[in-house]
Each structure stands twice: as C-alpha cells, then as structure tokens.
Chain A
C-alpha cells in the first residue's frame, strides 16, 4: 500500500492491535530477546557512547553535504558503466523501474528486502505486469508475500508479528509437509526459492549504504539472498532513499559495525556485500546496474528542525525498545515506518493530514533517544512535530485544545493557580464517587475516587481511578505556612 499500511482510523487500528494477542506476544518476546543481544553486542565495543558520537558525526556530515555526495556517487556509478536515476516521487521511481524491466525483457524478478520498494508499493505494480513473476527472497518478506501480501510491521523484522505456527500454516499452503521447527521451515523456503533464483533475470535490492567515492553499494544481510539477487540476474536495480550514503569504505565499515550490533545484536551480519556494475575483468556482478535514488519528500526535512531524522540508518533499535510499539505493533502505526523513527518520519514523507496522530502516540519516555546509534533526539523531534501541529498549523480543535490553553493560562498566573487550588476540590465534586481505596497510602488525602470524569479527565478515568483533590485546608502550602509558624524551620 506504500507508505500507508492501513485504511482504518488510528483508534481502530489500536483497538485491533490490542485484541491481537498473538502479535502482542511475538513482539514482546522479540523485543526482550533483542534487548540482551543488542546491549551485549554494543558493550563488547567497550566505548559505545563514543561510537555513537562517531556514527552521528559521519551521518551528519553526509546529510550536510548531501547534494555533493549524491553527485559524487552518481558520477562514480556512471564511470563504472552503471546508471543512476533520481526520482522525486514514487511514481517517477516506479515508471523507471518498470521501464528497465521491459527493456531487459525481464520475466522473473527476484527481490531482496527493501523498505524503499515497499514505500513505492512496487510489488503491486510488478504484479500487474503480464508475463512477469515476482519473488520476495528475504525469508520474512517471503512469508508476508505468501500470506497474501500481508503488510510488514517492522523495518528490520517485517514479519515480527507472526509466530512460528502462523508461518507453518502459510508454508503448508506451498506444499510443506514438515513440522513447525523454524530451521526445517527455513530449509524448505531455501529450496523453494533456489529454483526460482536460477531462472531470475532481474534482481531488485535495497541498499544499506551507498559508497560515494567508488560508486558501489553496501548490503548487510543474514540470509545471503541479496547476494543471489544481485549476482545471478543480468540486471540489478538498487532502490535507495536519497540519504543513505557514506563518503567511502572507511565510513561504511564503521556504520556496518554499528548497524549490525544495533539491528540484530551481531558483530557483523553474516553477509556484508559491496557491489556495483560488473567491470571488465570481474567474473560476477550485474551486467546492467541501475540505482534509483528516491526523494519522496525526504528533502523537505533538509534545513529544518527535522533534518536529524535523515541520519537514520534504519537499524530498528528504537522500535525494539519502544513501549508503545510493544503494545500496538507496526500495524497500529499504520505506516510502513512504525515506532519512534516512523512517528517522526511518516509525517514528513506522507504529511500531517495522514500521519499527524503518530507524534502524539508517544509517552515521550525517551527510550528511543537513549538507544539510537546515531544520536537522533527522537523524542524531541516528536515534540517538534506536536509544536508544528498545534502552534503553527492550528490543527488542534475542540474541547481538548480549549482545555490545554486553559492549562497554559492557569499555570502561568500565580493568582489563577491559587484560586484553582482553593476550588479544585469542589470543581470535581459532582463526579466524585465514594469508592473503596485499594491502592492505599499514596491517596491518603484523597479518600474518594473519581471513576468517570468530564472532558480530558474522561480520558484518565476510562483507564484508572482519579483521586479527588484534597480540600484546600489540607494543601501542602497551607501545611507549610503553619509548620513554619510553629518553628519547623528553626534549624
């Protein structure tokens, strides 16, 4: 579906996610497993915090000189005999790719994992071509394809929402007769795919980093499928976001290292591939090499307060630590890019109308900021989006907006606040219900609880009881004045 993965309204997506106990358990388990692996892999380096600064400086430098590096990369690809196409929009990218397939008289397309092709909704475009077969060869993407093109729910583990039993059911439809052991199922998929790899004439891959000074690209995978996708077919099309560059191999080595540790908790991925147009004397690699560089509104972030999001290396660590992602999963976000990075990126790529709710779907716990390998201040960027939506675009309306403005006024004027302190007890009294307090102690002065309140309070009481504010005479400030008079302050 492209960037948007659902047509349901946000609240309905959350309700659906809340009901999906399978997905919930799978995600929680994956997060916990990744937690230990990732932290250990990072700790091995000994000075992870310094690495982060290094990663940040490399990526910031590239983004700052992005036009220059793009030009350098493109020149070098062409020097090797390859082609680069700069696509402003997804349509431009798709047209170009479909044209290449036609020119190459391609009939069997194999794809390795690429989020940007998902952003293009390329699979659907390819399916519409007569006489062209298409196969996703990343195991997780393969599972999704065979499950009637289910939407990915994670940028590194696209099928994270499925457990092995669900995969088993999907594979049985393909003729698999074994048990639900992941190893057995993977062997089956491998055999199934291998035959089709051999007949492939066009390979489409993503790109982890494009190396500007040599015109080649860098792929990190654990399955080796990308290597087949780029070495067997005569033609290869690489699809990348316009920001995915590094100056040279030196920086690629550093970023690969950080990416593998952050994304999958490994020192390096099993396959670290560098490849480009086959040049005379080389025995493998694509004879026809195309790179599609996609903008799709990324450039809108350049020079703005959101520029730092372009540093992202798509490691997925921020999804793996996110308590909101843990609860609602990728499908809850309704964007191809879910989790903290998605909540920042999606409104930039797809606009506030469609993705304006995502920046609010965060408790701002900052777990994302704490883990990001390239030091993107994710939770602050979420606040920036909120600011744009409320202060600048005036997108907030209704009672909540009114109440927030009242809060702003009330908390900036000592006089009004003191009045509020005096009358708060009565203000909520119509909603007060006598209810036994089981969460004792802390609500000592709040001996009754509100179970259904008005306005914004209603959001609170939908989930939990609200203590009734204590009477004014019990307030801390009243107590303190009295306490001081009695000489409590004598020391």
Chain B
C-alpha cells in the first residue's frame, strides 16, 4: 500500500520526531511511504484568520504537491489539518482562480483518500494493536477539529487501549478547547491563556504523568504552558506512543481483539 505523508507546516517547522515515528510505524505495518516534496501548509492559518484571498494559492500549491505523487492514501499527523484538507471541496467552491474546475476535481480525489494517522491505522489498515509498550499513566487531549470537523471520536482511544503498560485516565472537561485555535492563540492570547490554564488544571487533576494527543498544535500550546509554569509533564504525540518499545510479534488486527467500547462522550 502506497502512502504519502501530508507533513503539515507545523511538523516541518517544529516537530520532526512526530514524522519519524509516524513513518516507522506505517512502514512496520506494511506501507510504502513517501513524502511529496513541494507541500507546505493546508492554508488553515490564513483562511481561518479571514485572509481568504491569500489562502487560494496556498491550497492550490498543496493540491499540486500532494497530487504529484501517485499513492493510495494520504496520512497526516494532525487531526485539524486532515479536517481542513477534507473540507477543500467546500472551501474551493468560491475560488475565483479555478475556471476549469481542475483544482476542485483534484481536491475531491485528495479529500477522499486523506486520513488522520490513528484513523488510518484503525479504519484503513485494520490494525488494533501496533505492538507498542509504554509504562506510564496518561490522559488524552481531544482536539476540537479532529472530533468535530473530522468527526473522529474513537480511534485514538481504541489504539491506546492496546498499548501494553499504558494506564489511561479520563480527562474532565475533555470537550473544551485548549485555547490553541491557530492564530487565536496569538491574537487573543488573553482569552487563550484562560482556556489553557483551565486545561492544564484539569490535566493535573487526573494525576497523569503523560499527555497524549493527535494534534501537534494543541500539544505545543498545552506543553508550552506546562513549561512556562515550570511543571513537569511528558507530552507525546500518538505516533510516538505507538512506536514505543515495539514487539512486532504482538501486532494484531481488529478481528483478533475484543470489540472496543465506544469512546467516552462527547
């Protein structure tokens, strides 16, 4: 199975290890991985800030870059960016620079084959247990865009359930945004501070020593806040967890494990 990585600008700029772990997991599970060269950013930072005109070229570049390599699937380390790429066909409806509808046509193809990393493992590869082991007490931060825009509420929880040694604690107020929101965190930092402060408090209340999420942006926000407060917290992207201390003989398909309970509401 040929997989292209949709790197996201944030991973490129800041968090290379997320990508490395992701590639290693995917290859272990039998994928042939490639990274389309000219991709940059999904366009969300400018689009969501109201710079819609400036965002068309960003989206066009992304469509060109991701269609340049032939692949079965596109996999992304961020729920939020995945959601936006999947929304491309709606976002491009008003695009004045696409007279032939060529970008729209390719956007539809890309949108259909793009998945967030945990989603891809569970829903496409059908793998339930990646063979990972991590001895820690952890809690999970659910990103708003992955949950509400992408509509993925389950797969990270199910995959984490099968990590050996991992004890998951439920997070109070899991439905509330951590205050990241892209440029919101900078422009409205006073409000964002109140939000991330209450998120940090709730995380501390769980007694967890590790915080896991599928969105690097949220992790950079919450982790940066922990660091500002000088408080210890191990921050991990789910790819790091699933690539930790792997015993390949333990890799299991969904059919080989008990059916998981639906992830906690909401």
Q: Do A and B bind each other?
A: yes
Interface residues of A (CB under 8 A from B): 11, 14-15, 18, 39, 321, 323-324, 326-328, 360-367, 369-370, 383, 385-391, 396, 400, 404-405, 407-414, 417, 420-421, 424, 435-446, 449, 451, 456-460, 462-467, 469-470, 474-477, 479-480, 483, 488-489, 491
A489 to B193, CA, bound (A): 43
Given contacts A366-B148, A460-B185, A464-B228, contact A477 B12 (CB under 8 A): yes
Question: Which of A360, A413, A463 counts the most chain B CB atoms within 10 A?
Answer: A463
A363 contacts B53, C-beta separation under 8 Å: no
Task: Verify A326–B176 contact, CB threshold 8 A.
Answer: yes
Q: Confirm or deny: B25 has a beta carbon within 8 angstroms of a beta carbon on chain A.
A: no
Residues of A within 8 A of B182 (CB): 363-364
Q: Which residues of A contact B219 (CB under 8 A)?
A: 442
Which of B17, B51, B191 touches A408 (beta carbons < 8 Å)? B51
- A458–B187 CA distance with the chains assembled, in angstroms: 10
Tell whether, in the assembled complex, residue A438 and residue B16 are in contact, meaning their CB atoms are under 8 Å apart.
Answer: no
Q: B35: CB under 8 A from chain A? A: yes
Closest residue of B by beta carbon distance from A467: B14
**B181 CB contact (under 8 Å) in A362, A407, A410, A488:** A362
Instruction: Specify which chain A residues have a CB less than 8 angstroms from the CB of B221 in the assembled complex.
Output: 464
B50 interfacial contact with A, CB 8 Å = yes
Report the separation of the CA atoms of residues A464 and B45 in the bound assembly, to the nearest whole angstrom: 19
Write 26 A-B pairs (CB below 8 A) sorted by A numbering: A323-B176, A327-B194, A366-B145, A367-B177, A383-B50, A391-B51, A405-B51, A408-B54, A411-B46, A439-B223, A439-B227, A456-B183, A459-B185, A460-B185, A460-B186, A462-B189, A463-B193, A465-B224, A466-B220, A467-B14, A476-B18, A476-B19, A477-B7, A480-B5, A483-B23, A491-B32
Q: Complex Cα distance A477/B65, Å?
A: 15
Q: Roughly how many angstroms separate A363 CA and B179 CA in the complex, as a whole number?
A: 6
Is the beta-carbon distance between A442 and B189 smaller than 8 angstroms? Answer: no
Within 8 A of A (CB), among B1-59: 5, 7, 9, 11-20, 23, 27, 30-35, 37-41, 43, 45-55, 57-58
For the complex, give the distance between the alpha carbons of A367 and B143 in Å.
11
| A470 touching B14 in the complex, CB below 8 Å, given contacts A366-B148, A390-B49 | yes
New A-B contacts (15) at CB < 8 Å, excluding given A363-B185, A364-B184? A360-B184, A360-B188, A363-B182, A363-B184, A364-B181, A365-B176, A385-B50, A387-B52, A391-B51, A414-B37, A414-B38, A439-B232, A464-B224, A470-B16, A491-B31
B233 interface contact, C-beta 8 A = yes
Interface-facing stretch out of B105-113, B122-130, B234-242 = B234-242
- Which of B181, B235, B240 meets A365, CB within 8 Å? B181
Q: In the bound complex, do residue A459 and residue B186 qualify as a contact, i.e. CB atoms below 8 Å apart?
A: yes
Assembled-state Cα–Cα distance A412/B180 (Å): 23
Q: Is the CB of B237 within 8 A of A386?
A: no
Q: Are A442 and B235 in contact (CB under 8 A)?
A: yes
- Judging by beta carbons under 8 Å apart, are A475 and B16 in contact? yes
Total interface residues in chain B, CB < 8 Å: 90
**Majority-rule SS of A interface residues:** helix
Q: Choose among B189, B192, B227 the residue with the greatest number of A CB atoms under 10 Å from its CB.
A: B227
A369–B35 Cα gap in the complex (Å)?
Answer: 34
A134 to B192, CA, bound (A): 41
A-contacting residues, B203-240, CB 8 Å: 219-221, 223-237, 240
CB-contact partner of B35 in A407, A441, A477, under 8 A: A477
Please give, as numbers and ranges, the residues of chain A lying within 8 Å of B48 by CB-CB distance: 364, 383, 386
Partner of B186, one of A328, A362, A456, A475: A456
In the complex, the answer to whether B185 meets A491 with C-beta atoms within 8 Å is no
- A442 near B236 (CB under 8 angstroms)? yes
Best-surrounded residue of A14, A407, A414 (most CB of chain B within 10 A): A407
Cα of A449 to Cα of B240 in the assembled complex, Å = 21
Q: CB of B71 within 8 A of chain A?
A: no
B74 at the interface (CB under 8 A from A): no
Q: How far is the CB of B85 from chain A (nearest CB, A)?
A: 14
Measured between C-beta atoms, what is the minimum distance from A343 to chain B in Å?
A: 12
Chain A nearest Cβ from B83, distance in angstroms? 9
Interface residues of B in 42-91 (CB under 8 A from A): 43, 45-55, 57-58, 60-61, 65
A410 to chain B: which residues have CB within 8 Å? Answer: 40
Residues B224 and A467 in contact, CB atoms below 8 Å apart:
yes
A327 and B191 contacting across the interface, CB-CB below 8 Å: yes
Beta-carbon contact of B23 and A480 below 8 Å: yes
Q: Are A328 and B225 in contact (CB under 8 A)?
A: no
Residue B144 is within 8 A (CB to CB) of chain A in the complex: yes
CB distance from B239 to the nearest CB of A (A): 11
Give the residue of B33, B49, B176, B235 whose beta carbon is less than 8 angstroms from that of A443.
B235
Say whether, besides A437-B227, A463-B225, A476 and B12 are in contact (CB < 8 Å). yes
* Distance between Cα atoms of A444 and B216 in the complex (Å): 13
A15 to B190, Cβ gap below 8 A? Answer: yes
**Which residues of the other chain, B, contact A465 by a CB distance below 8 angstroms?**
224-225, 227-228
Nearest 8 CB-CB pairings of A with B: A363-B181, A386-B50, A408-B54, A464-B224, A459-B186, A442-B235, A365-B144, A476-B19
Let me know if A411 and B58 touch, CB within 8 A: yes
- By the criterion CB–CB under 8 Å, are B60 and A366 in contact? no
A328 x B194 contact (CB < 8 A): yes
A154 and B41 alpha carbons, distance in the complex (Å) = 38
**Does residue B168 face the partner (Cβ distance < 8 Å to A)?**
no
